[in-house]
Chains A and B, each alone.
Chain A
Amino acid sequence: MDAFLYDAVRAPRGRGRADGALHEVTALRLSALMLDAVVARCGVAPDAVDDVIWGTVTQVGEQGGCLARAAVLASGLSERVPGVSLNRFCASGLEAVNMAAAQVGCGMADGIIAGGVEMMGRVPMGSDGLALAVDPTVAMARHFVPQGIAADLIATEYGFTREALDALAVESHARAVRAWDEGRFVRGVVAVRDINGLEILARDEAIRPGTDMAALAALKPAFAGMGQGMPGFDAVALMRHPHLERIAHRHTAGTSSAIVDGAAAVLVGNRAFGAAHGLRPRARIRATARVGCAPTIMLTGPVPATERALAAAGMALGDIDLMEVNEAFAAVVLRFLQAFDADPARVNVNGGAIAMGHPLGASGAVILGTLLDEIERRDATTGLVTLCVAGGMGVATVIERV
């Protein structure tokens, strides 16, 4: 496939609540800032790209109404560049990149900016509606449970202890702290500035340095109440997993991804696009995959998505140097490691969403950029990004330096 990554930028992630640094920033402005940043860094003309494909999950209010087009018009891009918003839940940012790669690869377009935004502190999750959870013809028939229940179900089903989950979170924070301390994020992160050029946020805000097992052990399970009490989601989940007597509620706020505001943009183009604009491709997109999987346990999609992407690339997991598996919940990553017997030292090497946060629609593009920068820093060759997705889906992308 002739689709290349020319550059990737992201905003630092702000805590997604009223006292978070990005709480004052609109989804539109953060989107436009990312578009301008990637255009400026690559030095391409305002009308150089054919489209902006923008992932946002909660497309309502300020994030609704095709935010992609509004972001183009609010940025320095030409009005001749259109925009399209998409929603593949938590993998929207990566799906945007994959769709861009598909269009570029098949000749529909030469260059596309892909990415996404999610201001979780400003536009609450679920406020755009969710027939999946509410309409009885699917929620009852397909045994819908919230993601936290699904994460605990994975932990129960695959035998991940509370300690194992907590240990993964400790490592996520430690790796994120080290990455910042060693300047590994300098290349990819663009500080968010106000209309006067004053800096608002330059560094991921949700990381808790010094997070240790003792601190995490003090946290209460976050999903036991809704599971065992009212309305009793565990009984629903057990209908699909009847060999289990009960669901062990092991995830806490500390082993779930942080709620944050964030955005990221990736410039995807064919070889001619680079030549025309004097850009050297940083990596090639070797394969992409999207899968559906069991909707109740929901978050196991990274495994089949990875299998399918690797098959499409003609590779095995051993051929991949570094991996980003979105830390929606600790069990999601542990399940990936278990299924592939993967080396934890090559997965989420600079920490993940548990430490830095998971701005839903942006995350796929965020961790793709993190992976790209790290592959180059280590002078490695191949990388894989994968995310679990609500409703029982998974998305994966394999990249390779050129």
Chain B
Amino acid sequence: MAEFRTEMHDGVAVIRWDVPGRSMNVMTRAGLADLAACVDAALGDGDVRGIVITSAGRDFAGGMDLALLAEMKRAAGADPARGIFDAVQAIHALLRRIERAGMDPATRQGAKPVACALPGTAVGIGLELALACHRILVADRADARIGLPEIKVGLFPGAGGTTRLVRKLGVMAAAPFLLEGRMVAPEAARSAGLVDEVVPADDLLARAIAWVRGATAAECTRPWDLPGHRMPGGAPYATAGFPTFVGASAMVTGRTQGVYPAAAALMSAMYEGALVDFDTALRIEARWFTHVLMDPTAEAMIRTLFLDKSALEKGARRPSAPQGRVARLGVVGAGMMGAGIAQAAASAGIEVVLTDATADAAARGRDTIARALDGAVARGRISSDRAAAALARITTASADLRGCDLILEAVPEDPSLKAEVLARAEADAPGATLSSNTSTLPIGDLGRGLRRPEAFVGLHFFSPVDRMPLVEVVRGPATSDATVARAFDFARHLRKTPIVVNDARFFYANRCIIPFLNEGVRMIAEGVAPALVENAARQLGFPVGPLQLIDEVSVALAVRIARETRAAQGRAAADDRADRVILALAEAGRLGRKAGAGFYDYDAQGRRTGLWPGLEGRARPDIATLRDRLIFVQALEAVRALDDGVLEDVREGNVGAVLGWGFAPWSGGPFAWLDRIGADRAVATAEALARDHGARFDPPARLRDMARSGATFG
């Protein structure tokens, strides 16, 4: 069945995109052929006076079928770059045929008007197709999203979107869409100049057809096809454009720390394209796009951040059990995490009972949520109506948890307090699923005193709840499949990405983050210049360095973890050198950001003013070794988590690492990174690190086996 089909509306060819079996259109290989057939037929038919391209569905398109990109590469066999380049050039040729629409290049006459009518969301190649049309109309649906998010999965718009948007808006105005992948609602898209008109949804097709009927020859010629077209904001060597281009390169370099090939390729496609005519610019864009697809970074990011993440969200690791929708949630503990989870749940339409030790504390939690919602309204993230409705779903009046489908405790990390809270919750609501937001305590231990430990599960949200996309669903030794499924469904309801992990100290994420933090502290103990430690982490693509991260979570917590690790695992596991630094900091009252002092100094407003001069390290070892230490200490721990059965699926290890703690997103996660460098090289480097820096770098047996056999994780 064709993915595009044409119907005639009194001389206007309406080409509808309708990919069978998909709720949202995506561009496939067959789709490209069908679109070409429809377009060529309409352009070649003397009775057709114009074209409207639209969708049969509620939205226009979700973008390119990313699996197709990998397929393109494989299909080309020995010369994948040639295969990709030719395929991309074919897309350019098709979109260019739409854009020229039969125009005589000499007289610039004879083009048939082409309008694009977007009923809703238009993303990626969906928008790129629209940008090749003469007029873009969008239905006034506030929930629709328009944008080019390719950069977020390690790509950049490679179907002409880069070249067209830069010529349409200029580098400065195009930057948020191309470089940050910003997605906007129709009205914002119109004011930014991405689309031409926002019209009532019911009138969309009629308005598009009317535009086609009335369009003049001038309206069917793109500005860049006119002689003397100048780029808005100036070309790279124009007086106005020069500082913009210089600044854009610098900004992107600083922000990406040079680890995202797609960002650099995008910059080059924009720069080189801006120096030449439109068709040459498209060819340049295709060369850089091919270059990015040939880089392992894009493949790793697509796989982890799109393919694997989608598969996990669709339930690849959810036990088969009936759907159990949570209608009413009880949250015990109205601190930062409890309030954050309550807010997320209420925003997703769930009734929430928020309780704490006292009514006052619960009320304070609700006030925190009210302020956070106000802030979200002020920033335009949600409408004030939706914010008010969310707040109205949260009650604190009664500590009565009866009728809750799911109860989540988020009280301080004190095992006896948690046990008491959970036992009371179980008594109050005997049929409810119970869960704990603990980040460190084994679920099996917490559930020991419960009458129904099978209905108890860990739900480890990350802070801040509204921004962190990952939830660790922790299966305790007694937790039933149905309970895991319910926790999984709850996380999905909140639009989080759940990974299902087994119960062990620190679960998966914290198990890997803690060695990262310790390694940074150890470097301080060794006298390494503290800025070098932080910058080594940044150069790996971590959003913040280990010292800053400790300040954020608090030095007190680091002290507690150090003490508990010592108590639970004995001296062998203890990290004496690192612990001494942490303890000294704590004794000096430097307990982190909240205390106004930690590894960093802070001003009265709580802003970092600089590393504490009391850290006297001046040593400057090779930063490459520091980078290796910081990334290996995490990646090896991830492998151990897999060995220990905490992780059961490599995909969860990759997705969890990137979404949970910002593990070098360019790498696609620790397992993808190990595959990329190869187990043999990983083992050799780890052995060298173990020799120089300690047994924590000893490569696990699994990795050694893989080095011998040439196996990979993925």
* A interface residues with partner B (beta carbon < 8 Å): 126-127, 129-130, 133-137, 139-141, 143-145, 230-236, 238-239, 242-246
Is the C-beta of B620 less than 8 angstroms from some C-beta in chain A?
A: yes
The residue in chain A whose Cβ has the minimal distance to the Cβ of B610 is A245
Check: B294 CB closer than 8 A to any chain A CB.
Answer: no
Residues 236-261 of B, flagged 1 when their CB comes within 8 A of A and 0 if not, give 11010010011111111111011000
| Cβ–Cβ contact B271 & A242, under 8 A | no
Mask: chain B, 583-617; 1 = CB below 8 Å from A; 0 = not: 00000000000000000000000000011000000
CB neighbours (8 Å) of A136 from chain B are: 249, 252, 264, 267-268, 271
Residues 687-711 of B at the A interface (beta carbon under 8 Å):
none
A236 to B: closest C-beta gap in Å: 5
A233 touches B250 (CB 8 A): yes
Interface size class on chain B is 20 to 34
A209 to chain B, nearest CB (A): 35
Establish whether residues B246 and A134, one from each chain, have CB atoms under 8 Å apart when the complex forms. Answer: yes
Q: CB of B532 within 8 A of chain A? A: yes
B536 partner residues in chain A, CB cutoff 8 A: 242
Contact status of A139 and B623, CB under 8 A, knowing A134-B236, A235-B254: no
| The one of B242, B251, B532 that contacts A134, using a Cβ cutoff of 8 Å | B242
Contact of B258 among A129, A134, A145, A239 (CB under 8 A): A239
- Does B539 have its Cβ within 8 Å of any Cβ on chain A? yes
Interchain CA distance A245-B547 in the complex, whole Å = 13
Query: Which A residues touch B535, using CB under 8 A?
Result: 238-239, 242-243
B531 at the interface (CB under 8 A from A): yes
Q: How far is the CA of A233 from the CA of B623 in the complex (A)?
A: 21
**Quick check: A245 and B237 within 8 Å, CB to CB?**
no
Contact residue among A127, A140, A243 (Cβ-Cβ distance under 8 Å from B253): A140
A residues near B249, Cβ cutoff 8 Å: 133-134, 136, 139-140, 144
State the Cβ distance, A246 to closest chain B Cβ, in Å: 7
A235 to B539, alpha carbons, bound, how many Å? 11
Indicate if the CB atoms of B250 and A144 lie closer than 8 Å: yes
Q: In the complex, are the beta carbons of A243 and B250 less than 8 A apart?
A: no
12 A-B contacts, Cβ less than 8 Å apart? A129-B237, A130-B242, A130-B246, A134-B246, A140-B253, A140-B258, A143-B253, A231-B250, A235-B253, A239-B253, A242-B532, A243-B529
Interface residue from B247, B268, B272, B623 paired with A230 (Cβ < 8 Å): B247
Chain B 261-298 near chain A by CB (<8 Å), digits 1 or 0: 00010011001100000000000000000000000000
B248 touches A231 (CB 8 A): yes
Tell me the minimal C-beta distance from B275 to chain A in angstroms.
9
Contact of B623 among A144, A231, A236, A242 (CB under 8 A): A242
User: Within the complex, what minimum Cβ distance (angstroms) separates A165 from chain B?
Assistant: 21
- Whose C-beta in chain B lies nearest to the C-beta of A146? B246
C-alpha spacing A231/B249, complex, angstroms: 9
Judged by a CB distance under 8 angstroms, whether B161 is at the interface is no
B530 interface residue per 8 A CB criterion: yes
- Contact B246–A139 (Cβ < 8 Å): yes
B531 lies within 8 A of A244 (CB): yes
Q: SS class of chain A's interface: helix, strand, loop or mixed?
A: loop
From A135, A143, A233, A243, give the contact of B271 (CB < 8 A).
A135
Are A133 and B610 closer than 8 Å at their CB atoms?
no
Residues of B contacting A134 in the complex (Cβ-Cβ under 8 angstroms): 236-237, 242, 245-246, 249, 271
Q: Is the CB of A139 within 8 A of B250?
A: yes
Which residues of A have CB within 8 Å of B254?
231-236, 239
A residues less than 8 Å from B258 (CB atoms): 140-141, 239
Residues of chain A within 8 A (CB-CB) of B611 are 245
Q: Please name the 6 residue pairs, one residue from A and one from B, whose CB atoms are nearest each other, closest first.
A: A235-B254, A231-B247, A242-B535, A245-B531, A136-B267, A231-B251
| A129: chain B residues within 8 A (beta carbon) | 236-237, 242
A143, A230, A243, A244: most-surrounded residue (chain B CB, <10 A): A243
A81–B654 CA distance with the chains assembled, in angstroms: 70
Q: A232-B250, A236-B250 are in contact. Are A140 and B267 (CB under 8 A)?
A: yes
Is there contact, CB below 8 Å, between B257 and A239?
yes
> When chains A and B are docked, how far (Å) is the Cα of A126 from the Cα of B247?
14
Q: Are B251 and A140 in contact (CB under 8 A)?
A: no
Residues of A within 8 A of B539 (CB): 239, 242
Q: Which residues of B, 394-428, contact A by the 8 Å Cβ criterion?
A: none
* B247 / chain A contacts, CB cutoff of 8 Å: 230-231
Are B532 and A246 closer than 8 Å at their CB atoms? no
Beyond A242-B535, A245-B531, list 20 extra A-B contacts (CB 8 Å). Answer: A134-B249, A135-B268, A135-B271, A135-B272, A137-B264, A139-B250, A140-B253, A143-B253, A230-B247, A230-B251, A231-B250, A231-B254, A234-B254, A239-B257, A239-B535, A242-B532, A243-B532, A243-B623, A244-B531, A245-B610
Q: What chain B residues lie within 8 Å of A127 (beta carbons)?
A: 239
CA distance A367 to B536 in the complex (A): 43
Do residues A137 and B268 form an inter-chain contact, with CB atoms below 8 A?
A: yes
Distance in Å from the Cβ of A124 to the closest Cβ of chain B? 8
Chain A nearest CB, measured from B220 CB (Å): 34
A239 vs B623: C-alpha distance when bound (angstroms): 10
A-facing mask of B526-564, CB < 8 A → 1, else 0?
000111101110010000000000000000000000000
Q: Which of A130, A141, A246 contacts B610 (CB 8 A)?
A: A246
Contacts of B271 in A (CB 8 A): 134-136
Chain B residues contacting A238 (CB-CB under 8 Å) are 535
For A242, the chain B residues whose CB sits under 8 A away are: 531-532, 535-536, 539, 623
Q: How far is the CB of A158 from chain B (nearest CB, A)?
A: 14
Report chain B residues within 8 Å CB of A145.
Answer: 250
> How close is A367's CB to chain B, nearest CB, in angstroms?
29
Which residues from B are CB-within-8-Å of A143?
Answer: 253
From 607 to 642 in chain B, residues with beta carbon under 8 angstroms from any chain A beta carbon are 610-611, 620, 623
Q: How far is the CB of B704 from chain A (nearest CB, A)?
A: 32
Cβ < 8 Å to A, chain B residues 200-248: 236-237, 239, 242, 245-248
- Contact residues in B for A140 (Cβ distance below 8 Å): 249, 252-253, 258, 264, 267
A235:B255 contact, CB within 8 angstroms: yes
Give A110 to B246 CA distance when docked, in angstroms.
44
Q: Across the interface, name the chain A residue whose C-beta is closest to B528.
A: A243
Q: How far is the CB of B623 from chain A (nearest CB, A)?
A: 5
Contacts of B239 in A (CB 8 A): 127
- CB pair A243–B242 under 8 Å, yes or no, is no
Q: Which residues of A contact B248 (CB under 8 A)?
A: 231
Give the chain A neighbours of B257 by CB distance below 8 A: 239
**Using Cβ atoms and an 8 Å threshold, which residues of chain B touch A135?**
268, 271-272
- Which residues from A are CB-within-8-Å of B620? 243
A231, B252: Cα distance in complex, Å: 9
Contact residues in A for B255 (Cβ distance below 8 Å): 232, 235
Nearest to A235 among chain B residues (CB) is: B254
Known: A140-B258, A243-B620, A246-B610. A126 touches B250 (CB 8 A): no
How far is A239 from B245 in the complex, measured between Cα atoms in Å? 20
Task: Please give me the residue from chain A that is nearest to B269 by CB atom.
Answer: A136
Q: How far is the CA of A232 from the CA of B251 in the complex (A)?
A: 6
Contacts of B529 in A (CB 8 A): 243
